[in-house]
Amino acid sequence: MSETTQGEYIDQDDFPWIDAKLIEDYNMHRVEIVPLNTDLDLGRPITLISDSKWNDIFDGVDLDEGWRRFYERADCNWINEVSRVGFNAQMDKALVFFSGYVASLAGHFGVILLSKGKDGDWQFETF
């Protein structure tokens, strides 16, 4: 995972069923790149890649060469990125953008919509 993160712009027209204020808050917060907390407990080990290491691996070369360097130098098999979180006014809905890559033409991305349950835990919403 990159040690800093920034999400993609989300257009309300692409997700008309999601509250416009929630998308607006996400888009406002996604532009600020912030360091991730190194104390994240995701139930499995994570490695954060510094911006300087990322640039050392991928800058100035084509993507295939960058991925070759990545597999030589990084202690992981893929890259995941998550955006900052946007919230609705009631703070009971959240929106996050994620992406994951394993090679120059192999990856995935999407939007995660979460709802806060009565117990305070966040749950995935399907749409």
pLDDT tens for 72-127 read 887 778 888 888 899 999 999 999 988 888 877 788 888 899 999 999 999 998 76
Would you call 43 exposed, middle or buried from its count of C-beta atoms within 10 A (0-12, 13-18, 19+)? exposed
Q: How far apart are CA 4 and CA 67, in angstroms?
A: 19
CA dihedral 5, 76, 72, 103 (to 10 degrees): -70
Determine if the pTM surpasses 0.75.
no
